[in-house]
Structure 1
């Protein structure tokens, strides 16, 4: 399998499987049991806790695609519950727990973990702080299924960080990119207050940003052989099979 064929094959399943985890009530329940209030506190404090005790403006700048009010409210709501590093570790535990429930039985997660870790290790994390933070999170060797889900999450953060850089390089705001990609109504769900429709002339910029995101990820996938890329795409499809079941 060619590099860009593989990237195209895995990008959407990895993104959507991560979305399923983030929006699942079971994930929210982990946060509630840990003492987080209902709402976005666990999500924001946990996902962005790898940045350390950063000001809200820094968290907003690093994550990019969520509305600033949503991020501020969630980050501040979780601050009194536990330190950022502990919240990130708790979130990583939730990632692995969700994986143990939702990754189908019979998938060769050991092989997936080897290939995924090769991609993660090959990444240049310069200008990708959220990815760098998640790459640095410990991934237990005695929980291969949970570890596979954590690596899915880390790869998702890599593409998301690359896409944010690509969007800005192409002259789009994160808000505009969200509206083009998801529509006005969906952008509102992600915390953007009263987002407006985007001029059709900006759509080619978003399309170029998507292409540039693939290009930024290409060095990772170049470390795999053609056969390994085919195997990786097949494993991602198998891991995320519940998306279409």
Structure 2
């Protein structure tokens, strides 16, 4: 049984690592260096490499399946990106190339003085302990091979896997809270950014939706909490410190 004190410490750890993990993954996804990897692999400019690579762990599925699993990106963006990428390479190969890009970006951007070996041990404990039921995108990325001889790249891949876990939990929490994915994007990011992420003519969020989004955030933390029981109190403190150091501003 988890004590009230342990529960508080778990939620403190979740709060400390959620934003850095999310934002560091965003840095990778939006970096021109990542786009260049896709171009070099034969993908055209646009979202083909992103869609085919990130969601390729699902296998050769239809566009509606990809849309249902990822949720937060507009359907037109997914349709265009997934369809464009299909002609370049099979989904499994695209996912492997995307994982390679994740690791390459990590080697270029993770600070050299971070104890990635210790981070990898703690992060892998979390990843191994996760219940992947109803989280297929996370399950796909957890199954993606991670080379043992590339600790820095492996650290970035584990950041990506943990990011997919929270993202999948958040999608479930959003729907449980009575929000659509489109509404959640507008509440969280605003109309302009929701448009950037593929939603066509999103409307400003009604004030009544904001409490629902806050409930979704809390529910996301609740869904992630069992993960962090895999670490002891001291390990959670160390993990939060390592995430902060690992996700420091990328090097120029």
**1:1-245 correspondence to structure 2 within 5 Å:** 2-242=9-249
TM-score (norm 1): 0.98
Instruction: Tell me, in whole angstroms, the C-alpha distance in 2 between the residues paired with 1:35 and 1:241.
Output: 31
CA contact (8 A) 2:111 2:250 kept: no
Structure 1 regions of 5+ residues with no counterpart? none
Shift of 1:157: 0.2
TM-score (norm 2): 0.96
Aligned-partner SS, 1:241: coil
Number of corresponding residues:
245
Shift of 1:222: 1.0
User: Structure 1 stretch 117-126 or stretch 234-243: which is displaced more?
Assistant: 234-243
Aligned alpha-carbon RMSD (Å): 1.2
CA contact (8 A) 2:109 2:250 kept: no
Cα 1:13–1:244 change in 2 (3 A) is farther
User: Structure 1 stretch 193-202 or stretch 45-54: which is displaced more?
Assistant: 193-202
Aligned-partner SS, 1:242: coil
Structure 2 regions of 5+ residues with no counterpart? 1-5
Shift of 1:202: 1.1
Instruction: Tell me, in whole angstroms, the C-alpha distance in 2 between the residues paired with 1:244 and 1:233.
Output: 21
CA contact (8 A) 2:186 2:202 kept: yes
Structure 1 residue runs of 4 or more that deviate by more than 2 Å after TM superposition? none
Instruction: Tell me, in whole angstroms, the C-alpha distance in 2 between the residues paired with 1:105 and 1:242.
Output: 12
Deviation by residue 1:212-240 (Cα, 9 ceiling, x = unmatched): 00000000111111100000000000000
